[in-house]
A and B are shown apart, each in its own frame.
Chain A
Amino acid sequence: MSLRPKKSAAATVTFRDVTKLYGKDTVAVDNISLTVEAGTLVTLLGPSGCGKTTTLRMIAGLEGVNKGNIFIDDEDITNMPASERDVSMVFQSYALFPHKTVIENVAYGLHYSGLIKSAIPVKAKEGLSLVGLEHLAERYPSELSGGQQQRVAVARALVLEPQVLLFDEPLSNLDAKLRRSVREEIRELQQKLGLTVVYVTHDQEEALAVSDKIIVMNKGKIAQIGSPHELYEKPTDLFVANFIGESNILDCMITSVTDKTVEVSVGGKIFNIPAQHIKKGPAKLAIRPEHISFHNAQKKDGFSGSILSATYVGAKTEYQVETKAGKLFVMVASTERLRDVNTKINLGLSPDKMLLFND
């Protein structure tokens, strides 16, 4: 279906030791290297200000690079102007041209893509139908709802069949109800058309839901790259453990390390857990709230504590429990019996779910 003369398959994006400074000493992106495989959806995830947008804008060519190189497939595009890159971007604010109709917006990029004139309206209509908005072609952006504007922005970027498609927090201007369906649509389109997509978000749930691969960023650096499952189950550092899903972080002491097990002491209790890459000495222990359970009986291997608060949130009930090791956040299925505040309780922590990190 491609009417473009240029080859346009989804492409690989590679960053090699890229650094971006604002002014003299604001390091927005700090020496990162990464690869986005062709045809995959990769998410840049991290707290606000960690450099996600900057990274994305460097791919688009809207931001210069201070050090390092960026490649699309094997071509070094580090110094190529934005208008010559085969990359399209869906802006956070959509950036629809207010003085052009929906169809004119979608057709805009086609005019500069070396298409024959007569092919442009056809392609533009095709693009609009991809997002199901053919019937709104003659409207102006100001006459559309937020969700519709967003689709137009997507269509405008899609019709160019770019080698790489970029999304900067595409859901942030939508209301909560729409978010889930729009993110599924984006994912569907990406898979159907086999696009390479780089997707920026600060919402870990969104990232887990749509991505083939997630790149977690922190303070301009890459904290971890992996599949959603890897990041959730095997975070390699404390920041990721805390940022993806919720974790209880406790101070602990590693008392012995063998090939098979690690012995760790937390809040006066000793646990033997399967071997992890860890050194002896003071460390941090992370455990997810759903991996802590309530024991009724007076079992010996648990923590004893008292319930500070209980919050019923539907399928789950969340408890804050005061223990010797500190305050613990516990999530229990609501099918279990509800416990009152101030109840004394014993907690069971499964050793094989504990993650250890050196300070």
Chain B
Amino acid sequence: MISALTGHYHRNPTVMLWLMVGLFSSILLPWYGIEDGFFDLEWIIDGYPLDSDFAPLFFLLGQGEKLWLTPLIMPFFFAFFALTLPQRSSAFSWALIIGGGLGLIWMCGQGLSIGIRGWQIASLQELFGPLDERQFGMGYGAILYFASCLFLFSTGLAEQRGTMGDKFIIGMICFVVMLVGIFVFYPIIKLIILAFIDEQNAYSLSLFWEKISDSRIWSLGCVFAERRCGVAWNTVFMATIVGFLTTTLGLVFALLVTRTNLRYRRIFRAISIIPLITPPFVIGLAIILLFGLSGVVSTTISDIFGLTPTRWVYGLPGIVIAQTLAYTPIAFLVLIGVVESVSPSLEEAGLTLRANPSQVFQTVSLPLIRPGLANAFLLGFIESMADFGNPLVLGGNYDVLSTEIFFAIVGAQYDQGRAAVLALVLLSFTLAAFYIQRFWLGRKSYTTITGKGDSGYNMKLPPLLSRTVIFVGSSWAFFTIVIYSIIVYGSFVEMWGLDNSLTFKHYITAFSVSIEENGIQWTGSAWNSFSTTFMIAAIAAPLTAAIGLVTAYLLTRHNFRGKNAFEFGTMLSFAIPGTVIGVSYILAFNVPPIEITGTGIILIVSFVFRNMPVGVRSGVAAMSQIDKSLDESSLTLGAGSFHTFTKIVLPLLRPAILAALVFSFVRSMTAISAVIFLVSAEYDMATSYIIGRVENNDYGLAIAYSTTLIFLMLLVIILLQIMVGKTVTNRRQAGTETQGGLNVT
């Protein structure tokens, strides 16, 4: 308004800002990444600004170096030009769109085609001849420049849309799209490309076909002959069993907690949740301590019956038991929501229509829960496929995709191509499951018909079913308790199975501290990875929450073209197994333009984008509860969207923010599958350190460390819980909840 009144004296402040940022970054900041690390500042006294390693863009060009960067000046001209034009004119917006767009395209183009060894793409080399210069990953200058182009572009887009456009909203959309593009899609694309490349760096379809049709992947030998099946079938088989078991047990627990009169059913809720904060493979460890060669159960049975212990648990049985324990809570969380959302009045209507309780359960309750069951099954299926730790610890000869991928990369074979192909196979399975879950089930789930709700209670289970549910649930809960007791107890045992005396040895080895003259010495072997893990989790959590909530805000409060694709893109990383992320990240990010392998940044980034869907989910759930008129009223009072978001919406979102924080924190502390590819000597993570101990048969230390992690996370969660306070939901007003697409992982 003001600028319109006072004519051309007041320039568009957003354009001014991003133009200044762009100029600042190209005149003052080192263009390329500093080799000593992102946060190292030694370059200031080390030849800056002329040394080409540290020179800003303009200094590079001024000295005649890296001349392919020259077109990057164009956006500045366009932005200056735009500032001379009247605002709201279409020329103004087009100048920004073209200028910013040029900058973005050229940045990507040159970054992807010129790397450490000159031309990256063979055909370009033929076209332009060899290049004797090379370039490294993007540094402060390049990153900020990129951002400034992005926001000039988005401002242009916002202006195009006239009054409907909002610079902040469109800027945010562009920003999120860019991040998801770079950190979710780009690595996957790299992975796909790699699957098609032969040793000579040439594309080869036939080679791809050869690799993908490998009988080691697809053989059905175990069905038709006395041979082994391919990894793909092994994986599908395992995931199907686990999906089925977790769903069944999840339903049992959900019914037990909500539909029986069992006195202590709340305890079951707590018990069934603990595995969520456990690194999944720790359960695998406990299974070994119980059923392994020197496990308690095995040795006891062999003592009594005089049998020699076998290795039966190493392989499919062990993996299935461990994964079922680990992933039942996910099914439980999904299904408890679904079971509770079955409107009591529907069941009561059934009863008044002369159906007895078990008939009502079969004809009303169960059909209404069914989409939730399928949902839970698919989640278990995806989790099981993506799991890496348990197959690694317990797999024995039973090969699955995630471990095969790992061994293809780190093992003696070192075959990136094979890893890429296996990763694609795994990815297509999980994506298919994800697709089914979202699109097929999304349509099938029954939304409750609107209308003022009746009061009423959900029906208790018919007696026989109730007894079955209590029996199965209690047995499983008992088993869970045994597992955790074993974990805690095992951490105090000298050498499991051989020397069962109790000791603090493992804790001391891991976490000893000595006080010397020059201060505290963290002498324990675990401190390094422990502090790294804590730091990385602590940085990743708020970032995850932030990007998740911003995305949720965009999704719930704004309509824009491509919104569905946008949503799908942001939720996609949920379906990408950690192993695939790990492989694709090292493929994508150990070469320019983004060189971050071996840093802490790559770990943080991988966590943020893996956990983003949960942030989005909880954000969307929370925001759809907040009445839209609330922030609309603030908008009409003259506050811009940015102000609305920070002053009105954010404070109301505290619970969602904390949920996202907790989840992201826990996940960062417990994840292993992606991490194991991305850790480095400098940035080792707790889980990969523990896995390393396990591989050296140092179970004591591994378990002691895991126990510490579990208790630490319990502590963190309890603290956060106290901070938020418990949310009380009114059970008598069930009618309004929705069911279905809840993703808890």
Question: A residues within 8 A CB of B368?
Answer: 98-99
Flag whether A71 is at the interface (Cβ < 8 A): no
Q: Are B455 and A53 in contact (CB under 8 A)?
A: yes
Residue of A whose beta carbon sits closest to that of B359:
A112
Residue A81 at the B interface, CB < 8 A?
yes
Q: Does B100 contact A (CB under 8 A)?
A: no
Which residues of B lie under 8 Å from residue A294 when comparing CB positions? none
Using a CB-CB cutoff of 8 Å, which residues 143-165 of chain A contact chain B?
146, 149, 156-157, 160
Asked if B349 is at the interface (CB within 8 A of a chain A CB), the reply is yes
Interface centre among B343, B346, B350, B449, by most chain A C-beta atoms within 10 angstroms, is B449
Interface centre among B352, B356, B446, B447 (most CB of A within 10 A): B352
Contact of A88 among B353, B449, B451, B453 (CB under 8 A): B353
B352 touches A112 (CB 8 A): no
Is residue A62 contacting chain B, with contact meaning CB distance below 8 A? yes
**Min CB distance, B740 to chain A, in Å?**
13
Indicate if B308 sits at the interface (CB-CB under 8 A): no
Q: Give every chain A residue within 8 A of B47 (Cβ-Cβ).
A: none
Q: Does B448 contact A (CB under 8 A)?
A: yes
Q: Are A168 and B449 in contact (CB under 8 A)?
A: no
A307 within 8 A of partner (CB): no
Tell me which of B349, B360, B448, B451 has the highest count of chain A C-beta atoms within 10 A of its own C-beta: B349
| Minimum Cβ distance to chain B for residue A26 (Å) | 13
- Cβ-defined contact, A108 with B350, below 8 A: yes
Q: Which of A53, A57, A62, A98 contacts B446 (CB 8 A)?
A: A98
Indicate which residue in B343, B356, B364 contacts A93 across the interface (CB closer than 8 Å).
Answer: B343
Cα–Cα distance between A60 and B454 once the two chains are bound (Å):
14
Supposing A89-B352, A98-B368 touch, asked if A62 and B447 sit within 8 A by C-beta, the answer is no
Flag if A93 contacts B452 (CB, 8 Å).
yes
Look across to chain A and name the residue whose beta carbon is closest to the beta carbon of B448.
Answer: A98
Expressed in whole angstroms, the Cα–Cα distance for A62 and B455 within the complex equals: 11
B352 touches A62 (CB 8 A): yes
Residue of B nearest to A92 (CB): B454
Task: Please determine whether A168 and B454 come into contact, CB atoms closer than 8 angstroms.
Answer: yes
Q: Is B284 an interface residue (CB 8 A)?
A: no
Given contacts A62-B348, A91-B349, A112-B355, contact A172 B455 (CB under 8 A): no
A87-106 to B contact mask, C-beta < 8 Å, 1/0: 11101111111110000000
A133 at the B interface (CB under 8 A): no
A62 to B732, CA, bound (A): 14
In the assembled complex, the Cα of A82 lies from the Cα of B356 at a distance in Å of 8
Contact: B449 with A141, CB < 8 Å? yes
B354 at the interface (CB under 8 A from A): yes
Q: Give the distance in Å from the alpha carbon of A108 to the alpha carbon of B352 in the complex.
A: 11
Is the C-beta of B337 less than 8 angstroms from some C-beta in chain A?
no
Do the beta carbons of B346 and A95 come within 8 Å of each other?
yes
Nearest CB of B to A347, in Å: 41
Task: Name A87's closest neighbour in chain B (CB-CB).
Answer: B352
User: 8 Å CB contacts to A: which residues of B431-488?
Assistant: 446-449, 451-456
CB of A83 closer than 8 Å to a CB of B:
yes
Residue contact A112 to B454, C-beta cutoff 8 Å? no
Contact flags (1/0) for B721-745 with A, using CB distance below 8 Å?
A: 0000000000000010000000000
Q: Is B357 an interface residue (CB 8 A)?
A: yes
With a cutoff of 8 Å between Cβ atoms, the chain B residues found around residue A95 in the complex are 343, 345-346, 348-349, 454
Which chain B residue shows the least CB distance to A86? Answer: B354
Task: State whether B363 touches A108 (Cβ < 8 A).
Answer: yes
Q: How far is the CB of A82 from chain B (nearest CB, A)?
A: 4
Q: Which B residues are CB-close (under 8 A) to A141?
A: 449
Q: Is A173 an interface residue (CB 8 A)?
A: yes
Asked if B351 CB lies within 8 Å of chain A CBs, one says: yes
Instruction: Kindly identify which residue among A82, A97, A98 contacts B352, using a CB–CB cutoff of 8 Å.
Output: A82
Q: Which of A20-58 contact B (CB under 8 A)?
A: 53, 57
- Interface assignment of B367: CB less than 8 Å from any CB of chain A: yes
Distance in angstroms from A165 CB to nearest chain B CB is 10
Report whether B447 and A94 are in contact in the complex, using a CB–CB cutoff of 8 Å.
no
Q: Report the nearest B residue to A96, measured CB to CB.
A: B449
- CB-based nearest B residue for A173: B451
- The answer, yes or no, to whether A142 is at the interface (CB within 8 Å) is yes
> If the complex has contacts A93-B343, A93-B451, A98-B368, are A83 and B349 also in contact, measured as CB distance less than 8 A?
no
- Docked pose: A88 CA to B352 CA in angstroms: 6
Are the CB atoms of A98 and B449 closer together than 8 Å?
yes
Known contacts A83-B355, A156-B353, A149 near B446 by CB under 8 Å: no
Residues in B360-398 with C-beta less than 8 Å from chain A = 360, 363-364, 367-368
Residues of B within 8 A of A156 (CB): 349, 353
Whether B352 contacts A60 by the Cβ 8 Å rule is yes
CB-defined contacts of A96 to chain B, threshold 8 Å: 349, 449
B357 pairs with A83, CB closer than 8 A:
yes
Distance between B741 CB and nearest chain A CB, rounded to angstroms:
17
Asked whether B452 lies within 8 Å of A91 as measured between CB atoms, the reply is no
Q: Which A residues lie within 8 Å of B735 (CB)?
A: 93
Q: Does A109 contact B (CB under 8 A)?
A: yes
Q: Which residues of B contact A98 (CB under 8 A)?
A: 346, 368, 446-449
Complex Cα distance, B346 from A89, in Å, reads 12
Nearest neighbor of B348 in chain A, beta-carbon distance: A62
Q: Which residue of B lies closest to A156 (CB)?
A: B353
Task: Indicate if A350 sits at the interface (CB-CB under 8 A).
Answer: no
CB-CB < 8 A to A89: which residues of B?
348-349, 352
In the complex with contacts A97-B346, A98-B448, A99-B446, A91-B354 CB distance below 8 A: no
A108 touching B447 by the CB < 8 A rule?
Answer: no
| Distance of A99 Cα from B363 Cα, bound (Å) | 10
Distance in angstroms from B210 CB to nearest chain A CB is: 48
Q: A82–B351 contact, CB under 8 A?
A: yes
How far apart sit A112 and B354, CA to CA, in the bound complex (Å)? 6
Q: Which residue of A62, A94, A113, A160 is within 8 Å of B451 (Cβ)? A: A94
Is there contact, CB below 8 Å, between A93 and B449? Answer: yes
Contact B447 A142 (CB under 8 A): yes
> How many Å lie between the Cα of A62 and that of B364 in the bound state?
17
A64 to chain B, nearest CB (A): 11
A60: chain B residues within 8 A (beta carbon): 348, 352
Complex Cα spacing A84 to B449, Å: 28
A142 surroundings in chain B (CB, below 8 A): 446-447, 449
Report whether B454 and A91 are in contact in the complex, using a CB–CB cutoff of 8 Å: yes
Quick one: closest A residue to B354, CB to CB?
A112
In chain B, positions 18-57 with a C-beta closer than 8 Å to chain A are none
Bound form: Cα–Cα A208–B424 in Å = 71
- Find out whether the CB atom of B449 lies under 8 angstroms from the CB atom of A94: yes
**Bound complex: CA of A83 vs CA of B459, how far in Å?**
12
Other A-B pairs beyond A109-B355, A112-B353, 10, CB < 8 Å: A83-B352, A83-B354, A89-B348, A89-B352, A93-B735, A98-B368, A99-B367, A108-B355, A142-B447, A173-B451
* Between-chain CB contacts (< 8 Å), 11 pairs: A57-B456, A61-B352, A91-B348, A93-B451, A95-B346, A95-B349, A97-B364, A98-B346, A99-B446, A112-B355, A156-B349
7 smallest beta-carbon distances between A and B, as pairs: A109-B353, A95-B349, A112-B354, A95-B345, A98-B446, A82-B351, A173-B451
A residues touching B (Cβ–Cβ < 8 Å)? Answer: 53, 57, 60-62, 81-85, 87-89, 91-99, 108-109, 111-113, 141-142, 146, 149, 156-157, 160, 168-169, 172-173
